Amino acid sequence: MNLNKNVFLLAILPVIALVVLSAFMLEQQLSVIGQANKLKKVIQLSLLNNEVVHQLQKERGRSNVYLYRQNKSNFSLLSQQRLLTDNALNKRAQYLSIEQDKAIYPVSFLIINQMGSLVEKRENIDKLNITSKEAISFYSQMINPLIDSLLLPATPSKSKDVDDLLFSYFHLSKAKEYAGIERALLAKLLSQGGLNDQDEKEIIQTRAMEATHLQTFGIVANDSISSAYQNTIKDEAFINYAKIRRNRIAFINKQRWFEDATARIDLLHNIENEIAKSLLNQLDTIGQDNKQQLKISLLYGGMSIALTLLLFVKLLHNMAIERRYKKQLENQTEELHLFKLVVDNSHNGVVITSPAGIISYVNRHFCNMSGYEANDVLGKNPRIWSSGETAQETYRQLYKSLKEQGIWQGELKNKRKAGELYWTSTAIFPVKSIDGTVKSYVCIQKDITQQKKDKEQIEHLVNHDTLTGLPSLRLGRDRLAQAILSAKRHQLITAVMFIDLDGFKKINDTFGHSAGDKVLIAVGQRIVDLLRLTDTVARIGGDEFIVIMTDIKDEKAISQVAQKIINEVKRPIDYKNEQLFVTASIGIAQYPIHGSSSEELMQNADNAMYSIKDKGKNNFTFYH
């Protein structure tokens, strides 16, 4: 009888592990299906948001044309566009009246409260009581939150393909937004026939932002979307618009420009619709795949429960008929082999240890993932693949969670046998006997290294300039804010320099944008080489840079660095068979003398830079 009990216990432990594993897989699949359904609703709202964005962009362009060319023809076109905008807003409102779960749609009610303002602004436009700049600003304030909401589904998606489509959707929408702003700004040509220097500067900056988002779109878009985009840019409107852009703004054919600009924006919107179709198709595929996996999980769970009951019945039978013990033992051995076969072919790494942490089993997927063979790890502790880079607090939380909750889930940074580091999404839970004693621990791992790398790459693209590799304006502002906090804590000085290149536009016009890119890269590197590791150089757009100097004890050091930058920038830059020359105009503001916030310091440094430009350029000055 004792022998029968021992055999039963030996057979039941892997079965219990498989039951728990099946339950875990079932919970995961139900969670994924639920998230996919929520995600589909969020994306459907994002598509409606984007249609509103497209119509608002077109209304913004028509409004600016009407403001500059105040005739009945343009007012009629504007009125027709407003009807299209209202139709898109009504479709969005109808959807939100059905789907009102604010937990699922954290920004689903954006701009609803701005509808009254839209009516008011339209009346001001009709009466010509508003400037073009105010109209552009108002429409952009409505449009930008809706574009930003396109990235909201990336948080719960857990799918690289879906995330890539969402990021390509977002960056294409941002590029189209800047194309629309450019069209609105250039509408001034339709009436006045010319632009001042500030107008041209805004248009150049807008084109640069559009190019940056199109470049990022090209990186994250999948092959299908990239192919559709490449076919689109062969359209006559794209080709004509590229030719127009190469001309000086003052010489642009006004009517041809507006028609091609509008056609180009509509073509970009067609690409957005292609991405939207791909997103919904991808979600349908994910839903079907997970439903299939759910069926498999249910099958495994049912098999596990059925086999557990079968073993129990056989044990009772063997206790009554001892002579059938041998046959029963053979049946159990076959069933154990079946359980091992199921776990061995799992798509997750599975490790089973004793209560003391001694490895007793690893499946095939774990060996493929870690590079270790089973003989390398059996009888040893899982510490052999520890990277040493996982925080000790994570392990403390792991043991605490196992003790109090009976399961731990999290991310661990491990090391393969060859020494390569990799990340795993890990779940650990105990297998207990009937009396509650822990008999073993089951560890399930999934390799998420590539997901980590993709996330880091996207964060780098968001925070760094794609041309020079320098920090972007966003990262520069963040570091300036940190530098101000450090200076305040240690009672030191922090300085921000606003640098604008003199003569850069002439180089672009004379030698082309490739020469301009060469200058920007060279200047950025020269400035970096002059500074300390604790200082920051950021490109904030066009030919403008900022330098953030931290922990300054003597303000003379600021002037010395500024003079060094001026001397380095004016050195010639070799380009093909030419030597290119630019100089630097630098405005400086320092904390705490010239401001207590990053916004105030940057504004004052910018003002100082324009002051030195008015006085002859190629010099620096502090804010007064």
pLDDT in tens, 554-593: 889 999 999 999 999 999 999 988 899 999 999 999 999 9
* CA triple 363-369-372, angle to 5 deg: 70
How many other C-beta atoms lie within 10 A of the C-beta of residue 6? 10
**Banded model confidence at residue 253, pLDDT cuts 50, 70, 90:** low
Coil vs helix vs strand at 384: helix
By the 8 A CB rule, do 142 and 111 touch? Answer: yes
Instruction: Count CB neighbours of 346 within 10 A.
Output: 16
| pLDDT classification of 15: cutoffs 50, 70, 90 | low
- Equal fold, 346-447 vs 464-622: no
- Strand 359-362 relative to strand 493-502, pairing: unpaired
Q: Of the CATH numbers 1.10.10.10, 3.30.450.20, 1.10.3720.10, 3.50.50.60, which one belongs to the domain with range 346-447?
A: 3.30.450.20
* Among candidate residues 163, 39, 161, 50, the one with its CA nearest the CA of residue 99: 39
Q: For residue 22, what pLDDT band results from cuts at 50, 70 and 90? A: low
Which of 392, 395, 388 has the alpha carbon at shortest distance from 415?
388
Count CA atoms within 13 Å of residue 416 on its CB side: 14
Per-residue pLDDT tens for 274-322? 888 887 787 777 767 666 766 666 676 666 666 666 765 666 666 666 6
More confident residue, 418 or 546: 546
pLDDT of res. 264? 82
Between CA 465 and CA 13 the distance in angstroms is: 56
For the chain, give percent helix, strand, coil, nearest 5.
65, 15, 20
What the block records as the tokens of 22 is 């099946």
d(CA 553, CA 496): 15
The answer to whether 438 and 432 are in contact (CB under 8 A) is: yes
Question: Quick check: 375 pLDDT over 60?
Answer: yes
Amino acid at residue number 462: V
Rounded to two decimals, the pTM is: 0.41
Residue 53 neighbours by CB distance under 10 Å: 26
Binned at pLDDT 50, 70 and 90, residue 108 comes out as very low
Q: Where are the domains of the chain?
A: 22-290, 346-447, 464-622
Helices assigned H by DSSP within 69-114: 72-98
Split at pLDDT 50, 70, 90, the class of 365 is: confident
The superfamily (CATH) of domain 464-622 is: Reverse transcriptase/Diguanylate cyclase domain (3.30.70.270)
The helix (run of H) or strand (run of E) holding residue 432 is strand 421-432
Q: Name beta bridge partners: 339.
A: none
CB atoms within 10 A of CB 123: 11
